[in-house]
């Protein structure tokens, strides 16, 4: 079994294979230099704890004990389904009997000109460290997107003393996440902690001159910040599967057993779309 994607999904899949008695080789391949780790703490504990640490789901010792080979800092670039091979960015390849794609998702990009080095996204631990460096009392942080990630970052930034403005184009925060009554409670809680929350405001322009970011809203109001964090959703990472000829349907299409149309290729986690009985399939 080869698992592409050494995040929480891929890492836990490798461990669970052993828990369920799989005795064949298991290889876990990831493009980050770290052990498999949890991403939810990146917007919370990794921002506010005195010493930001990765919340790893397995140590090197545990992986070795479970006979799980972990290849890190390598990017899969192609899957040859006929030859049962995965090819990697540095030119090597690896054969598989069964393949699990656990490539996750990446932040949705803001499709606007003017974004520079002070307009950032949060996905990895290294992203979290870079953002954390700006969360200090003298700094102004603009967060574009009033979803869970944006609001968690807003709370963390305020805890560290930064001035925070949340910009949400929808009529309210958490439009897709919670009912309006709950969103209102959360909105008021953030305001009580000093977060400025602006809803129903589209962005017409962004100018990042390398020292600060100027965000112009639809009402011509300008928000000036030392850092802009963009959190407007995520998109599944499907290119590897698509180029291998697998079906894509808002993610890598799988059945109720997480199997693609190829019986030797599975997909799990944020990268896949799957039928759910509670929603009628």
Q: Please, what are the domains in the chain?
A: 2-104+237-279 (3.50.50.60), 108-230 (3.50.50.60)
Q: List CB contacts of 142: < 8 A, sequence separation 6 or more.
A: 164, 165, 167, 213, 215, 223, 225, 227, 228, 229
State yes or no: pLDDT of 177 exceeds 90: no
Read off the pTM. Answer: 0.91
In 10 A of CB 86, how many CB atoms?
24
State yes or no: pLDDT of 254 exceeds 90: yes
Give the model's pLDDT for residue 201. Answer: 85
Give the model's pLDDT for residue 240. Answer: 97
CA–CA distance, 12 with 272 (Å, rounded to integer): 16
Give per-residue burial for 73-85: e unless 16+ CB within 10 Å, then b. ebebeebeeeebe
* 76-110: pLDDT as tens digits: 999 999 999 999 999 999 999 999 999 999 999 99
**Strand pairing report for 252-253 and 196-199:** unpaired
Number of residues written out for the chain:
281
Give the model's pLDDT for residue 103. Answer: 97
Find the range with the poorest average confidence among 40-54, 71-85, 200-214.
40-54
Provide the strand spans (E) within the chain: 2-4, 26-29, 68-71, 76-80, 85-88, 93-95, 99-101, 105-107, 119-120, 140-144, 163-168, 196-199, 203-208, 213-217, 222-225, 227-230, 234-236, 252-253, 265-267, 272-273
Q: Phi and psi at residue 92, in whole multiples of 5°?
A: -80, 170
**pLDDT grade for 227, boundaries at 50, 70 and 90:** very high
pLDDT (mean) for 125-146: 95
What percent of the chain stands above pLDDT 70? 100
In 10 A of CB 35, how many CB atoms?
19
pLDDT (mean) for 131-147: 95
Give the model's pLDDT for residue 50. Answer: 85
What percent of the chain stands above pLDDT 90? 94
pLDDT (mean) for 15-32: 97
Look at the block and give the residue holding tokens 């958490």: 174
Give the model's pLDDT for residue 53. Answer: 83
Strand, coil or helix: 146: coil
Nearest to 68 by CA among 97, 25, 103: 25
Q: Phi and psi at residue 183, in whole multiples of 5°?
A: -60, -40
CA–CA distance, 213 with 226 (Å, rounded to integer): 6
Give the model's pLDDT for residue 257. Answer: 95
What is the overall mean pLDDT for the chain?
Answer: 95
pLDDT (mean) for 258-266: 98
């Amino acid at each position: 079994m080869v698992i592409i994607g050494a995040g929480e999904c891929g890492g836990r899949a490798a461990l669970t294979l052993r828990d369920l008695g799989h005795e064949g080789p298991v290889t876990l391949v990831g493009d980050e230099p770290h052990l498999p780790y949890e991403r939810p703490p990146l917007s919370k504990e990794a921002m506010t704890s005195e010493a930001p640490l990765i919340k790893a789901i397995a140590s090197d010792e545990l992986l070795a004990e479970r006979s799980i080979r972990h290849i890190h800092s390598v990017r899969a670039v192609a899957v040859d389904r006929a030859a049962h091979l995965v090819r990697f960015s540095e030119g090597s390849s690896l054969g598989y009997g069964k393949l699990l794609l656990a490539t996750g998702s990446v932040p949705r990009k803001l499709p606007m000109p003017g974004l520079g080095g002070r307009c950032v996204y949060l996905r990895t631990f290294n992203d979290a460290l870079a953002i954390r460096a700006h969360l200090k009392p003298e700094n102004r942080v603009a967060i574009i997107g009033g979803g869970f990630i944006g609001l968690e970052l807003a709370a963390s930034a305020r805890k560290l003393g930064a001035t925070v403005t949340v910009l949400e184009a929808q009529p309210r925060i958490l439009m897709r996440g919670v009912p309006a009554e709950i969103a209102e409670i959360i909105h008021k809680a953030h305001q009580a902690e000093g977060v400025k929350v602006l809803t129903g405001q589209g962005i017409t322009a962004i100018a990042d001159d390398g020292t600060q970011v100027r965000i112009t809203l639809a009402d011509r109001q300008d928000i000036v910040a030392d850092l802009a964090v963009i959190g407007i959703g995520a998109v599944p990472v499907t290119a590897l599967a698509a180029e291998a000829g697998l079906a894509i349907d808002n993610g890598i299409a799988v059945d109720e057993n997480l199997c693609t149309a190829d019986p030797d290729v599975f997909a799990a986690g944020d990268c896949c779309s799957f039928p759910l009985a509670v929603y009628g399939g």
